[in-house]
Structure 1
Amino acid sequence: MGFSNLIYLWTAILPLIVLIYYFFRKKYKDQPVSSTIFWDEVMQETKASPYLKHLQRNALLYLQLLALLLFVLALMNPFLKTSEIAGEQSIWIVDTSATMLVEEGELTTFERHKEEMISLANELSGRPVTIITTGEEPKVIVRQETEPSAIHKAINNLEVTYEKEQLTKAIDMAQAFIGDTSTSIYLFTDAVERGELPIESENIQWIVHGASEDLKNVAITRFAATATEENALALVQLKNETEEEQVTELNLLDEKGNVLVTEQLTLKAEEELTKTFDTLPLTSVLTVKIEVDDHYEADNTMMTLLGSDMSQIVIDQQMHQLVQKGFQALNTDVKIAPSDQLEAMKDVVVVTNQTELLGKTDSPLVLIGRNDEVAEEVNSLVDVSNDALFAFSSLEDVYVNSIYPAFDQFETIATIGEKPFIQRSARGDIVILADIQSTDWPLHPSFPLFLWGLQNEMVEGAQNLGTFSPNESRAVPLAAGEWSIYSGEDEYVSSIEGGSEFQAPIKPGVYSIRSNEEEKRFIVQLSPEERTIQEGTSFELGTIQNGGKEEETKQSFIQWLLIPILFLLVIEWEVQRRRGFAN
């Protein structure tokens, strides 16, 4: 608070003059009288409330002093210093990923950020604001908006979408709105490295609002299961992200929510623990939950689908013996078939190197090597993505002598150098662009684990749609016609046309998709990046034309002083009227 007209401080002498006048006004002397018998009742009332009587006698003095003091204060023009957002415009990038649900006391990080945005919206002072949310496809919620009510409505409607944050894409979109305009970009996220923010322009200032520090989390990072003829086998991987020992209760549940296994686990500081559970009862959906005292609940649950019966695996008899023996060690229901009979196979998983079978058979296909191309020599290490296929198998130490050319339309999930090594087709076929005999892969523990994960994914894909990330778009094998998506609680979610691109729901959980004649299940699961939290970071980076600081404005409140002054004058006039102006 301050005063812009201190020159009028001299008017403070006015209330002093009034006070001095009351000190030297005419006073009355006490005069004894012959009889006071009738005054006793009046005197008793006066003694009972002396302060009220004093206020009544001096009300005019107090009213005049208070009115004059407020008048002097108004002459000096008092003001409050308020800060405003710097720059000619403001861009807000809002992280809507699952990690924004970390609890910070009574509020989540996302709810706290919304409160901060509402506070900032009151400081825009007419500056335009653009709000962008993160995700695979960043969205512009409002663009160059100056109306406070529209901005507040947009903030209140923001929701967590559980998608991977993809900050780079949102930042690239924000760059398109900047141009040559000085801009303050507010980034509402949990954590971001300074090096991830572009600061080439002198007209941009970054203000990062991160999560709180000292957050603790224990997460389920991996979960996979497979069914045999009589029971199910499950692998669970837990990670303690804190620097203290954590005790957690792990529960495995069937599709009806019945607890199959309960186990108390103790995780050391920053420990990663893998547990195996065998001889589990067969169930179509298997869920793992942990009960632990941490700040992030979304990563304490994970689900997987199991087929009610195992699809048969058929291996091309031309394939190397290592491939045949590898699958037979995992599953006794493996058959070897001649190459010319594979195209007619139905309801099986086919393992071959015949490229011409791609797209010709309805069965899921595992292509190991190619019979239509010549392999090229390579000399580099294998680099895998975060694909679920590599959940329990690491390929960093695998040596590969030569690889085949890649398929242009397929998704690459593992590379050697910059060349594709393992790919996935749009319908879910897996392609390994090398012959097993040209690698030392079978000598590594990752080989049977990879085959186990491969078998689990291919069998699941034959009976169900599989596992998706929140809001993920993917081509899936659905017959033509209308399909409806329902949640695990049998609530309608949306509808799609068969043959079109499938988009998964936002919230994690088990879903089913139905047509008139068929029903398939699928799971929406948090991506691996959303199953870990980082230490919160808040900072400012870069400068703009006004020095990179928030602009300060002086907001006068003289109008709020004039109203009580007028009110006091009215009361003073009424007191004078009741006493009589002659007195």
Structure 2
Amino acid sequence: MGFTNLVFLWTAFIPVVVLLYYFFRKKYTNQPVSSTLFWAEVMQETKASPYLKHLQKNALLYLQLLSLILFVLALMNPFVKTTEIAGEQSIWIVDTSATMLAKNGEGSTFEQHKKEMKSLAAALGGRPLTIITTGDEPKAILRQETQSSVIHKAIEDLEVTYEEEQLPKAIDMATAFIGETATSMYLFTDSVERGELPIESEKITWVVKGASKDLENISITRLAATAIEDSALALVQLKNETKSPQVVKLLLLDGAENQVIEEEITIQGGEEWSKTFDALPLTNLLTATIQVDDDYDIDNTMMTLIGSGTSEIVIDQQMHQLVQKGFQALNTEVKIAPSDQLKDMEDAMIVTNQKELLEQSKSPIVLIGRDDVEPQEVNSLVDVSQDSLFAFSSLEDVYVSSIYPAFDDFTTIATIDEKPFVQRSSRGDIVILADIEQTDWPLHPSFPLLLWGIQNELMEGTQNLGTFSPNESRAVSLTSGEWSIYSNDEEYISSVEGGSEFRAPTIPGVYSISSKEEEKQFIVQLTSGERSIQEGTSFELGTVQNSGLEETTKKSLVQWLLLPILLLLVLEWEVQRRRGFAN
């Protein structure tokens, strides 16, 4: 705090003058008079409260002194220094992923960040503000906005979208707004490493607002189930991210929410726990939930659909023995068929290297290698995306010596040296652009796990649409016409045209999509990255200066002094009126 007009400090003698006046004013002595002798009894009540009598007698003095002191302070123009957002503009990147819902006693990380944003909005000082939300497709909620009302409404309307944050995409969009303008970049997230932020520009200062550091989490990281004859087999994996042992109650529920398994588990700090449950009742939907006291609730539930469609796997006779043995170890309904008989196969998952079957066959295809082109030599390791197909298997350590050219219209979900390695067609076919003998993949534990994932994805059947991440956009096989999406509580969500791009709902859960002729179920599930919370980090990088000086604001307090001064003057007038102006 400081004073702008210290030259008015000389006015401080005015309250001293008033005080001296009261010291030297004419005093009277008490003199008994016969006509007032009986007043003594009447005054006993006042004498019983000497402090109140003193206040009543000197009220005018105190009011005058206080009003004069406030007046002197107002003349000196007191102020408090507040730091303004630096730079000529400000860009805020707001993380709207599911982990922002982790909360402690002060509310969720997202709620705390919204409070900080509202506070920072008052310090913009008229500078333009751009707000960008994260996700697979970052969005600019505001662009170069200066109106306070619009900014506060935009902050109030921010919501968690449950998508993975994918910060590099949001940062790339933010840098497009910078140009040559000095900019303060605020990142509202839970945790980010300093090395992830581009700091090569002197025109940018980074301010990172992280989550609380004392958040605790126990989560369900894996749930997979498959039908075996008249029963189901399920795999559940839990992780304790705290440092102390935790007691967890695990429940497995069927599609009608009937409890089929209840087990109490003790998980040590930092431990991953997994267990296989067999001989479960056969159901179309299996839900795992844990009852535990932690700070992140949404990852305490996980669901999976158990396919009821095709149950047969047909493998091209030309395929490598390791592929045949791998699928035979997972499913007893595996047949080996000659290549020329695969075109007529229906209601079966076909494993082959014949490229033409992708267009000719109506069955789901797993294409391993290609028979129409020659492979190209590579010398690198595999880089996978966050696709659900790799939920149980990691291919990063797999070595591949050569790969085939990719399909232009297919979605790439794994690469080698930035070249496509695993792709998915628009109708869901899986393409692996390498021969098994050209890799060391069968030597890795990920080999049977990925085959199991492929089997579960392609054999879900016509009644299931599959599993999606929140707000995921994907091409799915839907007949032409209008389809309506409903929640598990039969609440209408949205509509989509068959044959167009399908976008999953935002909130995780079980949904159904129906047309006039048929209905399918699907699941919206958190990705593996959103099932883990990290220790929050807050820091600043870089310094932006204007005219060589950092931006600060002197906020005047005069307006807060004027109203009390006016009120005191009114009180003085009332006290004087009651005593009589002649006195």
**TM-score, normalised to structure 2's length?**
0.93
* 1:141 corresponding residue in structure 2: 141
Instruction: Report the CA distance between 1:152 and its aligned residue.
Output: 0.9
* 2:69 corresponding residue in structure 1: 69
Equivalent pair of 2:508/2:523 in contact (CA under 8 Å): yes
* 1:374 corresponding residue in structure 2: 374
Equivalent pair of 2:313/2:351 in contact (CA under 8 Å): yes
Instruction: Report the CA distance between 1:550 and its aligned residue.
Output: 6.1
Q: Is residue 43 from structure 1 mapped to residue 43 from structure 2 by the alignment?
A: yes
* 2:164 corresponding residue in structure 1: 164
The residue identity in structure 2 corresponding to 1:275 is: K
Residues 187 and 352 (structure 1), Cα distance of their counterparts in 2 relative to 1, 3 Å cut = same
The residue identity in structure 1 corresponding to 2:313 is: I
Equivalent pair of 1:481/1:515 in contact (CA under 8 Å): yes
Instruction: Report the CA distance between 1:68 and its aligned residue.
Output: 2.2
Residues 548 and 414 (structure 1), Cα distance of their counterparts in 2 relative to 1, 3 Å cut = farther
* 1:558 corresponding residue in structure 2: 558
Q: Partners of 2:160 and 2:292 in 1: how far apart?
A: 23
* 2:424 corresponding residue in structure 1: 424
* 2:411 corresponding residue in structure 1: 411
* 2:208 corresponding residue in structure 1: 208
Please list every run of 5 or more consecutive structure 1 residues that lacks an aligned counterpart in the other structure: none
Write the deviation string for residues 473-508 of structure 1: whole angstroms up to 9, x where unpaired.
111110000000111111110001000000010011
Which of 159-168 and 374-383 deviates more?
374-383
Instruction: Report the CA distance between 1:130 and its aligned residue.
Output: 1.0
Residues 578 and 513 (structure 1), Cα distance of their counterparts in 2 relative to 1, 3 Å cut = closer
The residue identity in structure 2 corresponding to 1:369 is: G
Which of 83-92 and 398-407 deviates more?
398-407
Q: Is residue 285 from structure 1 mapped to residue 315 from structure 2 by the alignment?
A: no
Q: Partners of 1:154 and 1:94 in 2: how far apart?
A: 12
* 1:88 corresponding residue in structure 2: 88
Q: Partners of 1:344 and 1:277 in 2: how far apart?
A: 37
Instruction: Report the CA distance between 1:114 and its aligned residue.
Output: 0.3
* 1:447 corresponding residue in structure 2: 447
Equivalent pair of 2:237/2:272 in contact (CA under 8 Å): yes
Equivalent pair of 1:185/1:206 in contact (CA under 8 Å): yes
Residues 461 and 409 (structure 1), Cα distance of their counterparts in 2 relative to 1, 3 Å cut = farther
The residue identity in structure 2 corresponding to 1:319 is: M
Which of 158-167 and 329-338 deviates more?
329-338
Instruction: Report the CA distance between 1:549 and its aligned residue.
Output: 8.2
Instruction: Report the CA distance between 1:132 and its aligned residue.
Output: 0.7
Instruction: Report the CA distance between 1:171 and its aligned residue.
Output: 1.0
Q: Secondary structure at the match of 1:359?
A: helix
* 2:315 corresponding residue in structure 1: 315
Instruction: Report the CA distance between 1:249 and its aligned residue.
Output: 1.9
Instruction: Report the CA distance between 1:163 and its aligned residue.
Output: 0.5
Matches within 5 A, 1:24-63: 24-34=24-34, 37-63=37-63
* 1:226 corresponding residue in structure 2: 226
The residue identity in structure 1 corresponding to 2:450 is: F
Please list every run of 5 or more consecutive structure 2 residues that lacks an aligned counterpart in the other structure: none
* 1:186 corresponding residue in structure 2: 186
Q: Partners of 1:15 and 1:496 in 2: how far apart?
A: 78
Matches within 5 A, 1:489-500: 489-500=489-500
The residue identity in structure 2 corresponding to 1:505 is: P
Q: Partners of 1:548 and 1:457 in 2: how far apart?
A: 60
Q: Partners of 2:176 and 2:375 in 1: how far apart?
A: 44
Q: Partners of 1:548 and 1:481 in 2: how far apart?
A: 63
Q: Partners of 1:440 and 1:143 in 2: how far apart?
A: 50
Residues 173 and 576 (structure 1), Cα distance of their counterparts in 2 relative to 1, 3 Å cut = same
Percent identity among equivalent residues? 74
Q: Partners of 2:369 and 2:572 in 1: how far apart?
A: 100
Q: Is residue 124 from structure 1 mapped to residue 124 from structure 2 by the alignment?
A: yes
Instruction: Report the CA distance between 1:440 and its aligned residue.
Output: 5.1
Instruction: Report the CA distance between 1:150 and its aligned residue.
Output: 1.0
Q: Partners of 1:53 and 1:244 in 2: how far apart?
A: 65
Residues 241 and 32 (structure 1), Cα distance of their counterparts in 2 relative to 1, 3 Å cut = closer
Which of 476-485 and 242-251 deviates more?
242-251
Instruction: Report the CA distance between 1:446 and its aligned residue.
Output: 3.8
The residue identity in structure 1 corresponding to 2:214 is: D
Equivalent pair of 1:92/1:186 in contact (CA under 8 Å): yes
Residues 31 and 214 (structure 1), Cα distance of their counterparts in 2 relative to 1, 3 Å cut = closer
Residues 546 and 571 (structure 1), Cα distance of their counterparts in 2 relative to 1, 3 Å cut = same
Q: Partners of 1:61 and 1:355 in 2: how far apart?
A: 100
Q: Secondary structure at the match of 1:224?
A: strand
Equivalent pair of 1:86/1:549 in contact (CA under 8 Å): no
Matches within 5 A, 1:298-447: 298-308=298-308, 310-395=310-395, 398=398, 400=400, 402-439=402-439, 441-442=441-442, 444-447=444-447
Instruction: Report the CA distance between 1:95 and its aligned residue.
Output: 0.3
Q: Partners of 1:105 and 1:579 in 2: how far apart?
A: 56
Residues 476 and 197 (structure 1), Cα distance of their counterparts in 2 relative to 1, 3 Å cut = same
Write the deviation string for residues 210-258 of structure 1: whole angstroms up to 9, x where unpaired.
1111322222222211112111111122222223222222221111111
Q: Partners of 2:223 and 2:43 in 1: how far apart?
A: 90
The residue identity in structure 1 corresponding to 2:247 is: V
Q: Partners of 2:347 and 2:421 in 1: how far apart?
A: 27
Equivalent pair of 1:11/1:72 in contact (CA under 8 Å): yes
Q: Partners of 1:58 and 1:215 in 2: how far apart?
A: 58
Q: Secondary structure at the match of 2:359?
A: coil
Equivalent pair of 1:484/1:514 in contact (CA under 8 Å): yes
Equivalent pair of 1:465/1:521 in contact (CA under 8 Å): yes
Q: Secondary structure at the match of 1:358?
A: helix
* 1:481 corresponding residue in structure 2: 481
Q: Partners of 1:128 and 1:56 in 2: how far apart?
A: 56
Q: Partners of 1:260 and 1:404 in 2: how far apart?
A: 46
Q: Secondary structure at the match of 2:372?
A: coil
The residue identity in structure 2 corresponding to 1:311 is: S
* 2:252 corresponding residue in structure 1: 252
The residue identity in structure 2 corresponding to 1:267 is: I
Q: Partners of 2:380 and 2:173 in 1: how far apart?
A: 35
* 1:23 corresponding residue in structure 2: 23
Instruction: Report the CA distance between 1:456 and its aligned residue.
Output: 1.2
Equivalent pair of 2:414/2:421 in contact (CA under 8 Å): yes
Equivalent pair of 2:218/2:239 in contact (CA under 8 Å): yes
Equivalent pair of 1:413/1:422 in contact (CA under 8 Å): yes
Q: Partners of 2:35 and 2:375 in 1: how far apart?
A: 132
The residue identity in structure 2 corresponding to 1:509 is: G
Q: Secondary structure at the match of 1:351?
A: strand
Residues 28 and 199 (structure 1), Cα distance of their counterparts in 2 relative to 1, 3 Å cut = same
Q: Secondary structure at the match of 1:69?
A: helix
Instruction: Report the CA distance between 1:73 and its aligned residue.
Output: 2.0
Instruction: Report the CA distance between 1:376 and its aligned residue.
Output: 4.2
Instruction: Report the CA distance between 1:32 and its aligned residue.
Output: 3.7
The residue identity in structure 2 corresponding to 1:27 is: K
The residue identity in structure 1 corresponding to 2:243 is: E
Which of 316-325 and 146-155 deviates more?
316-325
**TM-score, normalised to structure 1's length?**
0.93
Q: Partners of 2:279 and 2:62 in 1: how far apart?
A: 89
Q: Partners of 1:439 and 1:17 in 2: how far apart?
A: 98
Q: Partners of 2:394 and 2:129 in 1: how far apart?
A: 46
Q: Partners of 1:272 and 1:472 in 2: how far apart?
A: 28
